[in-house]
Chains A and B, each alone.
Chain A
Amino acid sequence: GAGVSQSPSNKVTEKGKDVELRCDPISGHTALYWYRQSLGQGLEFLIYFQGNSAPDKSGLPSDRFSAERTGGSVSTLTIQRTQQEDSAVYLCASSFRRPDYNEQFFGPGTRLTVL
């Protein structure tokens, strides 16, 4: 079956511009996660959506970052007024919400470069 898909695969933008990154989770998965992977910081949690519950935004690094999930499926991560330190690979993952089976499956990521 289809895995998690993300678009675009690469994004180059200029400092100060806004960017939108898209994630399509695995069909049937109720939970969706965004992570960021950068050379100096490793893989860091950003935000988590579970069904209709309020998202866990505890990992968002600043108010320039926001995310939404429409119809319990597709999610968009938006970064406003991008800075060079936002350059990283942004990874999306999805999972079931079951105590005995909640492995997260990752997409290929979007590589963001801010010039």
Chain B
Amino acid sequence: EDQVTQSPEALRLQEGESSSLNCSYTVSGLRGLFWYRQDPGKGPEFLFTLYSAGEEKEKERLKATLTKKESFLHITAPKPEDSATYLCAVQLKAAGNKLTFGGGTRVLVKP
């Protein structure tokens, strides 16, 4: 069975304290892995797509990496505005374009 697991469920950081979020997946035929950010009361906001092991993408204080079994979202020197829930999702070659999401990691950055 295809599974996507995110850890930790919640993360409390001090401003400037770098950390990493994990997304591990057990799927057949990965087409792509997606990271989204979701603020309370809003829809998920697209961050990154990763297609192959070894690929890395960066945006401001965020960097996403991909291996054959997991992806990491690194947050460097976070600011309070980085507080949100971060979702990862996989898209499978045999499953059309639908996304299968992990449970998310709630990040709180305190000033």
Residues of chain A touching chain B, judged by Cβ–Cβ distance below 8 Å, are 4, 31, 33, 35, 42-45, 48, 50, 56, 58-59, 91, 93, 95, 97, 99, 102-109
- Give the residues in chain B near A107, CB-CB below 8 Å: 43
Q: Are A42 and B43 in contact (CB under 8 A)?
A: no
Q: Are B98 and A33 in contact (CB under 8 A)?
A: yes
Q: Are B101 and A42 in contact (CB under 8 A)?
A: yes
B7 contacts the other chain (CB 8 A): no
Against A, the Cβ 8 Å flags (1 = close, 0 = not) of B75-97 are 00000000000010101000011
- Identify whether the interface residues of A are mostly helix, strand, loop, or mixed: strand
Q: Across the two chains, which residue of chain B brings its CB closest to A102?
A: B97
> Can you name 14 A-B residue pairings with CB atoms under 8 Å?
A31-B97, A33-B99, A42-B103, A43-B104, A48-B96, A48-B98, A50-B97, A59-B98, A99-B31, A102-B32, A102-B91, A102-B97, A103-B46, A104-B99
- Identify whether the interface residues of B are mostly helix, strand, loop, or mixed: strand
Q: Are B44 and A91 in contact (CB under 8 A)?
A: yes
Q: Which chain B residues in 8-50 approach chain A with CB under 8 Å? A: 31-32, 34, 36, 41-46, 49
- Give the residues in chain A near B100, CB-CB below 8 Å: 45
Q: Across the two chains, which residue of chain A brings its CB closest to B104?
A: A42
Number of residue pairs A-B, CB distance < 8 angstroms: 57
Residues of chain B touching chain A, judged by Cβ–Cβ distance below 8 Å, are 31-32, 34, 36, 41-46, 49, 87, 89, 91, 96-104
- Give the residues in chain B near A33, CB-CB below 8 Å: 97-99
Q: Are B99 and A45 in contact (CB under 8 A)?
A: yes
Q: Across the two chains, which residue of chain B brings its CB closest to A55?
A: B96
